[in-house]
Chain A
Amino acid sequence: MTVIELVPYEDALAAYDPVMGLEVHVELGTKTKMFCGCSTGLGAEPNSQTCPTCLGMPGSLPVVNAIGVESAIKIGLALNCEIAEWCRFARKNYFYPDMPKNFQTSQYDEPIAYNGYLDVQLEDGEIFRVHIERAHMEEDTGKSTHVGGATGRIHGASHSLLDYNRAGIPLIEIVTKPIEGAGERAPEVAKAYVAELRELIKALGVSEARMEMGQMRCDVNLSLRPHGQEKFGTRSETKNVNSLRSVERAARFEIQRHAAVLGSGGTIIQETRHFHEEDGSTTAGRVKEEAEDYRYFPEPDLVPVAPPREWVEELRAGLPELPRVRRNRLREEWGISEHDMQSILNAGAIEPIVATIGAGAPADQARKWWMGELARHANETGRPLDELPITPEQVARVAALVASGDLNDKLARQVIEGVLAGEGDPDTVVEKRGLKVLSDDSALGAAVDEAIAANAAVADKIRAGKVAAAGALVGAVMKATRGQADAARVRELILERLAPAE
């Protein structure tokens, strides 16, 4: 493997203009495969979810999954696409054992949705419109395991093993038009686009779109051209970039690599490239076959799909509020900045916060707990927020206990800690751990008197009218009561006792 001396990012952008094309595959959340009734359930034992159709046996007949078509139309509509009045499937022929049929059933020149756009919001709030070429229906491939090589890759393997459970699961491939004019923000636009698309897919309810589980995968096409040149340069296609951060890194790396190759008088080869999570680099894969090499032809076993207009309009009318629109609405309702909203989105906290507010918590409290204590816990345990063992209702209960004065923030954090540790719901944790704010004057009075006695100098200051010094004594009492005292009441008691002589 040749090591390339990358061109610094700024220098690459000074010399060249990047053009990107993004292809995103979304695995639909249907119960069954695209062309047969086999389950799509995860975690089944190898080759236990196959049938003559998805194994490509002679004489088997595929039949389209209605929900697969419906999901494709919903995605197309949400991306502002036109929906084909009539379209067909096509066979994409290739020799590779991940499809037992020796072809993938896809769509070629007649995609179900085409000519749309998605507006994406960048970190600073700027809106960038990404134009959509098409969204088409196809099927996923089987899973290969390469045996005998040192690295588990094809290279060096003696043979490969195939599990066809995944073969035939519905995929929607969404292809952008060339993304021009993003300049130095190209990697950011790529990331924002994939992020927005993921939110959209989730909002539509057609897939969970979990990138870490391969339910959404991105290929990044990138080319450079000298500034002022109309014609696109030769592109590379970095395959299977499977996290938002990786999308950004892959685009950035390819800009720097292309600039290095072009700048030293070399030419970019049109090829697929592999992305490496460890260092964000890409390496050469195969030289890309031309489209005609796939010898596409209309699938003779499937009849055309001609979605009736009434159906399309019905689906359009049923579309949910689009994520960006919803985020802006929530942002205004919550009275927070673009930047804060972006952080909440990045943390995956929108749904938990909305649900917590729905369970009765004030918006600022819901945000505080999810973006504070719980976000930190999620980070530490490497789990998404919505998979933490605490429900929005429980967070709302904690907020209610704080509002009623039963808990202060410090105790509330302990309650949350207890819930996360599996000790039960908030009230149970409060009871079991004995977490109650001490506001009983007789109990607090002793602690206050002790604090005054131990801090005579401070007490004198307060007696002399320096009320601000009371904080130190409140702190001492809180410490003595291990955070369980009602700080406001403690302050009152201190000021009562140390009132300046009239």
Chain B
Amino acid sequence: MPGITREEVAHLARLARLELKAEELDHFAGQLDDIIGAVARVSEVAGQDVPPTSHPLPLTNVMRADEVRPSLTPEQALSGAPAQEQQRFKVPQILGED
């Protein structure tokens, strides 16, 4: 059974830019452990002869011709944006990068 450690939760939280308190780390470690344990049970019934599936339909090569289709107008594209400026999506200061 996988054991999700507190450190792993802290690492994931950092990647997701989430600030978690110490007690939350323990709390989520336990919860994630349960979830992973439940999902892992799939491997108990899926034998070696069952390939891992990433798509429910047995399709390949679904492609489209390289033909331009109408885009949204800038107004439509930006209509759901919390903030905009100069017809662009405005996002807060980006941290953790040079």
Q: Which residues of A contact B (CB under 8 A)?
A: 30-32, 36-39, 45-52, 55, 63-69, 86, 88, 95-97, 100, 144-147, 153-155, 157-164, 274, 283-286, 289, 293, 295, 297-300, 302-308
Query: Do B63 and A50 touch across chains, with their CB atoms under 8 A apart?
Result: no
Does B21 sit at the interface, judged by CB under 8 A? Answer: no
Q: Which of B25-33, B42-50, B89-97 lies on the face that meets chain A? A: B89-97
Distance in Å: Cβ of A250 to nearest Cβ of chain B = 16
| Residue from the list B66, B91, B97 in contact with A162, Cβ < 8 A | B91
| Given A46-B86, A52-B72, A86-B60; A67-B91 close (CB under 8 Å) | no
Chain B interface, >50% SS class: loop
For chain B, residues 32 to 85, give those with C-beta under 8 angstroms from any C-beta of chain A: 54-55, 57, 59-69, 71-74, 77-78, 85
Query: Do A95 and B93 touch across chains, with their CB atoms under 8 A apart?
Result: no
The tally of CB-CB contacts under 8 A between chains A and B is 144
Contacts of B63 in A (CB 8 A): 63-66, 69
Contacts of B57 in A (CB 8 A): 303
Query: Do B77 and A158 touch across chains, with their CB atoms under 8 A apart?
Result: no
Q: Which residues of B contact A (CB under 8 A)?
A: 15-17, 54-55, 57, 59-69, 71-74, 77-78, 85-94, 96-98
Q: For residue A35, which residue of chain B has the nearest CB?
A: B64
| Given A30-B66, A47-B74, A303-B55; A161-B61 close (CB under 8 Å) | no
Query: Do A157 and B66 touch across chains, with their CB atoms under 8 A apart?
Result: no
| Residue from the list A31, A88, A283 in contact with B68, Cβ < 8 A | A31
Query: Do A51 and B55 touch across chains, with their CB atoms under 8 A apart?
Result: no
Distance in Å: Cβ of A36 to nearest Cβ of chain B = 8
Distance in Å: Cβ of B37 to nearest Cβ of chain A = 19
| Residue from the list A47, A283, A304 in contact with B89, Cβ < 8 A | A47
Instruction: List 27 interface pairs A-B (beta carbons < 8 Å), by A numbering.
Output: A32-B66, A32-B67, A38-B69, A39-B71, A45-B87, A48-B71, A48-B74, A51-B69, A52-B72, A63-B62, A66-B66, A97-B91, A154-B97, A159-B91, A160-B93, A161-B85, A161-B91, A162-B91, A283-B98, A286-B98, A293-B15, A299-B54, A302-B55, A302-B62, A303-B55, A304-B54, A305-B60
Query: Do B71 and A38 touch across chains, with their CB atoms under 8 A apart?
Result: yes
Distance in Å: Cβ of A107 to nearest Cβ of chain B = 13
Query: Do B88 and A63 touch across chains, with their CB atoms under 8 A apart?
Result: no
In the complex, what distance in Å separates the CA atom of A97 from the CA atom of B84?
Answer: 14
Distance in Å: Cβ of A314 to nearest Cβ of chain B = 15
Residue of B55, B66, B94, B98 contacting most chain A CB atoms (<10 Å)? B66
